[in-house]
A and B are shown apart, each in its own frame.
Chain A
């Protein structure tokens, strides 16, 4: 973790990150590196300041499923590479809790990986977002609250992947609704990839932050549901052989 987190980056958006809003969120950390868990805990775990309460930790798939079932957190920070099948396996086994109508468990993927199939894999597995571990503490808290609200969180890199995967091709879409990004969605993704925060995107495009969020959620849905041939091919083309 970088020590830039102590600086105000300007990237943090809402005042939600200072806990002033009095919001609370219950979080489980799933990561096989103890040092990293400790680091995240130190950065975001001061509940009175951040509003984040870490209610459990796990270091592998089985543990994660057990802890998540026992504590029923609102948000799970999920590492992509885990012993026992990886983050995707945790998502698969928590599907029922994700779909719970009363209090769903939502997942935010957190990884050092840059591999496209890792990123796209966990998103298609049901995670509501993907951020890299270099994210600052403030931004991470912000992302957690965003996921708690049911919104999607895209890092610039993920936005770049999605733009790449949905790049305009001559191939006719199988499902018009799912296989294409609208012009507006494309603009929003482009700005995310350029490092803009949601609030800045809203200003830039003269729309509300809520509208930006709904565009991003729509993209997330397409990413999870599209059976677009190119998407699969694109991810395989970038596989490590």
Chain B
């Protein structure tokens, strides 16, 4: 990201929305939201209760939050101790300590129950529907119990609460199942008077929905957990791969450099090769951890590969700049061979003048490559006719494939080879 000339102050890290695992009444939704929005918990709870009066919308919202918002260490700072916590006793053993439920929590609970009662009594519904109301509430209570249960399994990880009591868990789950079952059966029995297929179907549906409700939170949270873990694992693997590769090859190179300390050219070659390797790993876009022997399929890769090979073989540094890129075709492969030949010549005859500069550019359908050295320069006309290297492998090759090659002496010393080729089709 190019930083703008004037950088803004670093933004505050966003507070992610989590359900609070601490000091919660039901699912920790209100506490989590309060923490996220920066409001007192009681306000959020009041809003939920108010919405609950509006045809139970609050309950729906609350359930949705509970279902989809992951449990985390968010929310308002839990100023109240847990009802059940672990303490390390004097003998060094951890044991469960049941604390008194504090008044606020109790008060809130009573308020909620009374609101529910008021809601039930005020809702004006026909008798037939009223018969469903209590079973429905029972089912709701059962589901809520089970959801809390599912939360607690995760909460145990967050809070690192020592040993959980399996019996307590089982009792809770069983209670949930029993409540749901009772609700479903209630609906069943009420329907029993009507003898037709519909009732059976309805009952079956009710059972199915009940099971879905029971298993739902587990499934949703399991997939959430799994995808999170997978992401972490992939990241860790990538890091390990890069580290392993880099460590090995760098250590290897350093060993070789120490062994060849008196051979200047070899040391330089080793260092350059390692530098290239490292740069490829660091600065290449994703998915280009190409193996050594692999054939390049784009122009940029081909130019870099040719330069690397010539550099290794002749021990002259070659700086490569590539602008744009395109896939290789037959013509361009020929151009690459010519360019490679030009690099070899530059390294052999002009290498003492410093680095060889290679520039390749794709513009529309034209591919231009220049190879320049700062050597003593060289005159094509003075090359004996039997030395066909440059004539054949560079100029001839380019012409056969419909391109052009130009060799010229640069005014201030050195030679430059310019290769130009039209690509077959434009795909950029």
A interface residues, Cβ below 8 angstroms from B: 2, 4, 7, 9-11, 88-89, 92, 95, 113-115, 117, 120-121, 123-126, 134, 136, 156-157, 159-160, 163-164, 167-168, 190, 193-197, 199-200, 203-204, 224-225, 231-232, 235-241
Other A-B pairs beyond A134-B355, A195-B359, A195-B372, 14, CB < 8 Å: A2-B268, A10-B412, A88-B3, A114-B279, A124-B4, A125-B3, A125-B7, A160-B359, A193-B359, A195-B355, A199-B412, A203-B412, A225-B5, A241-B285
Cα A197 to Cα B354 in complex, Å, equals: 14
Of B93-101, B188-196, B316-324, which stretch is located at the interface?
B316-324
Contact A235/B412 with A7-B354, A240-B283 known, Cβ cut-off 8 Å: no
Contact A115/B323 with A95-B6, A195-B359 known, Cβ cut-off 8 Å: no
| Residue pair A156, B1 in contact (C-beta under 8 Å) | no
Q: Does B294 contact A (CB under 8 A)?
A: no
Contact A9/B411 with A88-B3, A232-B2 known, Cβ cut-off 8 Å: no
Sample 12 A-B pairs with CB under 8 A, ordered by A number: A4-B355, A88-B3, A89-B7, A92-B6, A156-B321, A167-B323, A194-B372, A195-B359, A200-B410, A224-B5, A225-B5, A238-B285
> How far in angstroms is the closest Cβ of chain B from A189?
9
Cα A207 to Cα B23 in complex, Å, equals: 77
* Residues of the A chain whose Cβ atoms lie less than 8 Å from the Cβ of B268: 2
* Residues of the A chain whose Cβ atoms lie less than 8 Å from the Cβ of B277: none
* Residues of the B chain whose Cβ atoms lie less than 8 Å from the Cβ of A10: 353-354, 374, 412-414
Cα A195 to Cα B322 in complex, Å, equals: 12
Cross-interface CB contact of B286 among A117, A124, A241, cutoff 8 Å: A241
The chain A residue with its CB closest to the CB of B413 is: A10
* Residues of the B chain whose Cβ atoms lie less than 8 Å from the Cβ of A232: 1-2
| Residue pair A235, B357 in contact (C-beta under 8 Å) | no
| Residue pair A160, B4 in contact (C-beta under 8 Å) | no
Cα A194 to Cα B4 in complex, Å, equals: 29
Cα A193 to Cα B324 in complex, Å, equals: 13
* Residues of the A chain whose Cβ atoms lie less than 8 Å from the Cβ of B353: 9-10
Cα A159 to Cα B5 in complex, Å, equals: 20
Interface size band for B = 35 or more
| Residue pair B319, A156 in contact (C-beta under 8 Å) | yes
Q: Does B282 contact A (CB under 8 A)?
A: yes
| Residue pair B321, A160 in contact (C-beta under 8 Å) | yes
Cα A114 to Cα B413 in complex, Å, equals: 28
The chain A residue with its CB closest to the CB of B373 is: A195
> How far in angstroms is the closest Cβ of chain B from A33?
15
Contact A156/B285 with A92-B7, A195-B372, A200-B411 known, Cβ cut-off 8 Å: no
* Residues of the A chain whose Cβ atoms lie less than 8 Å from the Cβ of B3: 88, 92, 121, 124-125
Cα A114 to Cα B280 in complex, Å, equals: 10
Q: Does B370 contact A (CB under 8 A)?
A: yes
> How far in angstroms is the closest Cβ of chain A from B365?
13
| Residue pair A167, B2 in contact (C-beta under 8 Å) | no
Cα A195 to Cα B411 in complex, Å, equals: 13
The chain B residue with its CB closest to the CB of A231 is: B2
Q: Of residues 263 to 289 in B, which have CB atoms within 8 Å of A's CB atoms?
A: 268, 279, 282-283, 285-286
The 0/1 profile, CB within 8 Å of A marked 1, for residues 345-375 of chain B is 0000000111101010101000000101010
| Residue pair B354, A193 in contact (C-beta under 8 Å) | no
* Residues of the B chain whose Cβ atoms lie less than 8 Å from the Cβ of A196: 410
* Residues of the A chain whose Cβ atoms lie less than 8 Å from the Cβ of B4: 124
| Residue pair A167, B324 in contact (C-beta under 8 Å) | yes
> How far in angstroms is the closest Cβ of chain B from A218?
16
Q: Of residues 378 to 403 in B, which have CB atoms within 8 Å of A's CB atoms?
A: none
